[in-house]
Amino acid sequence: MDLTQDEWKSQLDSDNNAFLLDVRTLEEYNDGHIPNSTLIDFNQPQDFIDKILALDKSKNYYVYCRSGARSSKACQVMGHYGIGVVKNLLGGFMNWDGKYV
């Protein structure tokens, strides 16, 4: 599910079952990321699949990348592997106006 910045942030802030997932590269993550996010690099396909298979499928996943393209694809892959609730941040970290570290 693609959500605007406001929708995504509002849902994330009010979701007690949220898991925040950054699918960018380590270098991008180190340059700045949303607090409490977990990094799983989508550009490392086998590693990405191995790590998402180990995730708790009962969580609600809020996924972001730089612009929203990789995270959209990541959400599709996660859905394919049985993760039911995935929410993509449209515009990605480039347009993020919330807190970051």
**Contact at 8 Å (CB) between 96 and 76?**
no
Respond yes or no: is residue 75 known to be catalytic.
no
* Rg for the chain, CA atoms, rounded: 12
Which helix (H) or strand (E) segment is 86 a member of?
strand 85-89
Catalytic hit among 40, 52, 63, 65:
65
SS3 32: coil
- The phi-psi region of residue 32 (left if phi > 0; otherwise alpha if psi is between -120 and 50; otherwise beta) is left
**Contact at 8 Å (CB) between 58 and 100?**
no
Active-site positions read 65
